Amino acid sequence: MLFFPFRVDLNFNRIPLLTILICVVCLFTYISQEASFDEMQKASKEYCQKDHERMFWLVIEKVYGERDVEACSSIFYHIHSYKNPDQRINELVEQADKFNSRSEVSSRIIIRGMLEEKYREFRLGGVAKDLTTELMYEPHSYNLKNMITAAFAHGSWDHLLGNLFFFFAFAASIEMILGMLRYALIFASLAIGTHLSYSLAMVNINDALPTLGLSGVVMGMIGVFVYLMPKINIRCFLWFFIIFRIVKVPAWVLAAWYVSWDIYALYVSEDQSAINFIAHVSGATIGFGLGLIFLVERKEEIEKEIRLHQQAEELRLEEEE
């Protein structure tokens, strides 16, 4: 059973400008990521189509298992897309097959020397670094800038559009209720807090994957929303096998549903896929905590505003009858 929120049962006369801007930045960022990927793919293929010596192609075969342009292009693309190309070269050398006529140590020296020489030559061609790699967050880096930039970068169109759908459903209301300044501070706090949580969770895991995407912030916005307006209904598309309809779900119920599934996936499910469930759970927790610490007075004001709105709506309906 899946819930897809699309509208909060509140009427606003303002436009969520900052939320719209964030969505637009995410869209343009991903388009730039795609362009950067295509440029690197093209550059690596063009380099591999040049006239290289026989030993070069032998090294490509030992590293990749095949001796052709596609294998070569894949190797140089992945070396260049790494934050630390030397580390990637070392990894390729370690997994490469040895030459039949050479010892393992001698084979590694030859392969490393060839890859380092050819990568220097490739890099001198002025190929830009992969934008996705530049934006994503490495958990062991504790890089504050990338904690922010990673929130705007995504791994696919599905990843991007799914995040923006949920983000706009909740974040637009938060912006209109709190104003742009507090909203911006909450956004930055969630981006930093979720990535820091991921770093702390991965502190003893050497091969922890880098992360990117807006989902941690999305869950944080849901946490803030539930703190401020737990009983407000969210209009959702409900999809359950062949049943598809629009339903109204209280915010706290919807949040509990999402967080429960994320906790289940984090601690029980064997299929972790490429989803950062740590960012999801920490985002919801941080968002609710920000509300609890900084927005107590605003919560009381919102409750009064909602009661007045409900009374006015009831009065309007009575007059119409």
Q: Among 133, 162, 193, give the residue marking a domain's end.
A: 133
Residue 174: CB atoms within 10 Å: 27
How far is it, in rounded angstroms, from Cα 3 to Cα 11?
A: 22
Q: What is the pTM of this model?
A: 0.86
Tell me, what's the pLDDT at 321?
A: 64
How far is it, in rounded angstroms, from Cα 106 to Cα 85?
A: 22
For Cα atoms 264, 269, 271, give the angle at the middle one, nearest 5 degrees.
135
Instruction: Classify residue 120 as exposed, middle or buried by CB count within 10 Å of its CB (0-12, 13-18, 19+).
Output: exposed
Residues 156 and 259 grouped into a single domain? yes
How far is it, in rounded angstroms, from Cα 279 to Cα 208?
A: 14
Residue with tokens 């960022």: 29
Residues 23 and 71 grouped into a single domain? no
Residues 209 and 276 grouped into a single domain? yes
Residues 194 and 254 grouped into a single domain? yes
Residues 149 and 238 grouped into a single domain? yes
Q: What is the CATH number of the domain that holds 220?
A: 1.20.1540.10
Tell me, what's the pLDDT at 271?
A: 54
Structure token pair of residue 46: 């063009």
Tell me, what's the pLDDT at 316?
A: 73
Mean pLDDT over all residues of the chain?
90
Checking if the pLDDT of 125 tops 90, the result is no
Structure token pair of residue 36: 């950067």
Tell me, what's the pLDDT at 241?
A: 64
Checking if the pLDDT of 270 tops 70, the result is no
Residues 106 and 172 grouped into a single domain? no
Please tell me the total number of residues recorded for the chain in this structure.
321
How far is it, in rounded angstroms, from Cα 111 to Cα 106?
A: 9
Q: Do residues 152 and 25 make contact, with C-beta atoms less than 8 angstroms apart? A: yes
Tell me, what's the pLDDT at 95?
A: 93
Residue 71: CB atoms within 10 Å: 16
Q: Specify the number of domains making up the chain.
A: 2
Q: Among the listed ranges 24-33, 173-182, 263-272, which one has the minimum average pLDDT value?
A: 263-272
Q: Among 133, 151, 169, give the residue marking a domain's end.
A: 133
Tell me, what's the pLDDT at 85?
A: 93
Most confident of 7-21, 69-83, 182-196: 182-196
Q: How far is CA 212 from the centre of its chain?
A: 3
Checking if the pLDDT of 262 tops 90, the result is no
Residue 168: CB atoms within 10 Å: 20
Residues 188 and 148 grouped into a single domain? yes
Question: HSE-up of 273 (CA within 13 Å, CB side)?
Answer: 7
Checking if the pLDDT of 312 tops 80, the result is no
Per the structure, the complete domain to which residue 99 belongs is given by: 33-133
Residues 100 and 154 grouped into a single domain? no
Tell me, what's the pLDDT at 117?
A: 96
In the chain, the percentage of residues whose pLDDT exceeds 90 is 67
Q: Among 91, 106, 133, give the residue marking a domain's end.
A: 133
Residues 46 and 22 grouped into a single domain? no
**Helix/strand/coil (H/E/C) assignment for every residue in the chain:** CEEEEEEECCCCCCCCHHHHHHHHHHHHHHHHHHHHHHHHHHHHHHHHCCCCCHHHHHHHHHHHCCCCHHHHHHHHHHHHHCCCHHHHHHHHHHHCCCCCCCCHHHHHHHHHHHHHHHHHHHHCCCCCCCHHHHHCECCCCCCHHHHHHHHHCCCCHHHHHHHHHHHHHHHHHHHHHHCHHHHHHHHHHHHHHHHHHHHHHCCCCCCCCCECCCHHHHHHHHHHHHHHCCCCEEEEEEEECCEEEEEEEEHHHHHHHHHHHHHHHHHCCCCCCCCCHHHHHHHHHHHHHHHHHHCHHHHHHHHHHHHHHHHHHHHHHHHHC
What average pLDDT does range 222-246 have in this prediction?
83
Residues 188 and 260 grouped into a single domain? yes
Residues 154 and 11 grouped into a single domain? yes
Checking if the pLDDT of 112 tops 80, the result is yes
What average pLDDT does range 276-305 have in this prediction?
93
Residues 235 and 272 grouped into a single domain? yes
Checking if the pLDDT of 272 tops 60, the result is no
Q: Among the listed ranges 12-16, 154-158, 221-225, 300-304, which one has the minimum average pLDDT value?
A: 12-16
